[in-house]
Amino acid sequence: MTDYTQLFRLDGRNAVVIGAGSGIGRESAFALAAHGASVVCADVNLGAAEETASAIGAEAYQIDVLDPDAVERLADRDTDVVVLTAAMNVRKRLLEYTRAEFDRVVALNLGATFDVVRAFGRRMVARGSGSIIGFSSIRGTTVEPGQSVYAATKAGLVQLFRTAAVEFGRHGVRVNAIAPGVVETPLTAQIKADPAWYQAYADKGALGRWAQPSEMAGAVVYLASDAASFVTGAVLAVDGGWTAVDGRFEPPEGKKA
């Protein structure tokens, strides 16, 4: 009989969180450690990684995920779970975008993801187990002016992960994506600085507010754990109902159709 009290426990498992220095990555590291995992807190900012690691008694690791060789070196350690949160956005309309900006966003959001999936996936496939967790976005399915390249990379990540799930699945490796809505992180600081913009985003979702990074951590633990043992190739929306809401017009209450 399954011991459901242990369903979300990660004791004895090794996790690597890339982007653990802040935001969703930091909270993911906290949550994985709280459920028993041994965590490596990896980030381009070593000081930030050390701050996260010191809070949970974990290892800090400096990495530039734009360096494929560095990704390979990190993947060489025994890893059961890898979480990738590193991403960037340049908010510009298409006609204002430069090719250099396009290349920069694609290189981090999609290119680095490709390298992480291949490096960690190769070793997990050889071992016969593992969980790879990445972050897409509501922008992978819904767009707005100024989000073209970011949205394209987040949609591309989903298809990359689905393909990896199909190719790795017979080897016991699960690959899933989480699609957050609006979350208060350094990536969204520009929006938070504009009260009207911030409130408009809050009003769009069914819950009428922004998420905190900690509210993404439960999804990470779930996908890392045996609770999700039959979940792969999935995109888990943690968006406060953003993608469920039409948003064009809210009919007055009490009016009959």
Catalytic residue annotation:
150
Residue with tokens 């309309």: 93
Query: What ranges make up the beta strands (E) of 2-125?
Result: 14-18, 38-43, 59-62, 81-84
From the list 135, 132, 131, 164, the residue with the least C-alpha distance to 150 is 135
Region of residue 253 (phi > 0: left; psi between -120 and 50: alpha; otherwise: beta): beta
Tokens of 41: 């807190």
Tokens of 241: 């109902």
Whether 101 contacts 92, CB under 8 Å: yes
